Amino acid sequence: MRSLSRILLVPDKEDAPQGVSEMVNKLTEFEKEVYDFIKGRGTILTSNMPLGMSGVIPNLKNKGVIEVFKERTSRWASKKRKFVRIKGSTNGS
């Protein structure tokens, strides 16, 4: 029997962090569709996404396959807008 401190301090191999490519394989069918939608467009405003697809953004962010960031749309804009892109891609389309 393993001690409680051992369980909390040393994660098992299945708890180890996984790469983005492995996480993409574990997405549901609809999450994969939204992932491909974002991948095809590069960087996209969250407000420009279809309504049904925007609800999946938190799931994809928590799984670590996309990143959400804020950026100004112009030099003179006082507010920043939220964008999403595939994690690891720095170029915008």
pLDDT of res. 15 = 42
Which position has the higher pLDDT, 8 or 39? 39
3-state helix, strand, coil in the chain (%, to 5): 45, 15, 40
Quick: pLDDT tens for 16-68: 345 666 777 789 999 999 999 999 999 999 999 998 999 999 999 999 999 99
Q: Whole-prediction pTM value?
A: 0.70
Does pLDDT of 9 surpass 50?
A: no
The reported pLDDT for the residue numbered 35 is 94
Q: Which CATH architecture has domain 21-86?
A: Orthogonal Bundle (1.10)
Is residue 14's pLDDT more than 60? no
CB 82, CB 45: distance < 8 Å: yes
- The upper half-sphere exposure of residue 48, i.e. CA atoms within 13 Å in the direction of its Cβ, equals 12
Report domain extents, the chain: 21-86
